[in-house]
Amino acid sequence: MAFDLEVNGVRHSVDADPQTPLLWIIRDRIGLSGTKFSCGIGSCGACTVHIDGQAVRSCSVAAEAAAGRAITTIEGVSSDGSHPVQLAFKELDAPQCGYCQSGMIMTALALLNAIPEPTDADIDAWVTNACRCSTYYRVRQAIHLAADLMRAER
């Protein structure tokens, strides 16, 4: 069955089973590989994207549920890695292996859009993504730095 998805501002006509997880449509049909597969059950957060500005775990969302909604992947955050969240993660070496980085950044961005000056408790409550390298402390620092950078841009 064919349906349309808007990913990073570009409309894509997709011919696939509507129940296919959005993750696989993004990666295999649209060709954007920044969104990662890890657990497949919506637990780890490596596959986090935004749908209408809300962070969602794309491995647990049927593609048809995203039809007619604005989907943003890590590739849509900035074309050159210049978004304050990306810059903060880079400056503080928040990722170690980097596998969780796109999901962490997408989650952090949703948090900062909702709570521009988050506390450590806010970060702990919002960022439930798994990082096998355990760089959670640096991730928290990067989110605080990103908040400062975003505030400076306003």
Q: Answer yes or no: are the C-beta atoms of 22 and 62 closer than 8 Å.
A: yes
Strand partners, 12: 5
Architecture of the domain made up of 84-153: Orthogonal Bundle (1.10)
In the sheet with 10-15, reading across from the earlier edge strand, the strands are: 10-15, 2-7, 70-72, 48-51, 54-57
The per-residue pLDDT for range 70-93, each reduced to its tens digit, is 999 999 999 999 999 999 999 999
Residue 121 has what pLDDT? 98
Does domain 2-76 sit in CATH 3.10.20.30? yes
Q: Tell me which residues of the chain have a pLDDT lower than 50.
A: none
Distance of CA 77 to the CA centre of its chain: 9
Domain segments of the chain as ranges: 2-76, 84-153
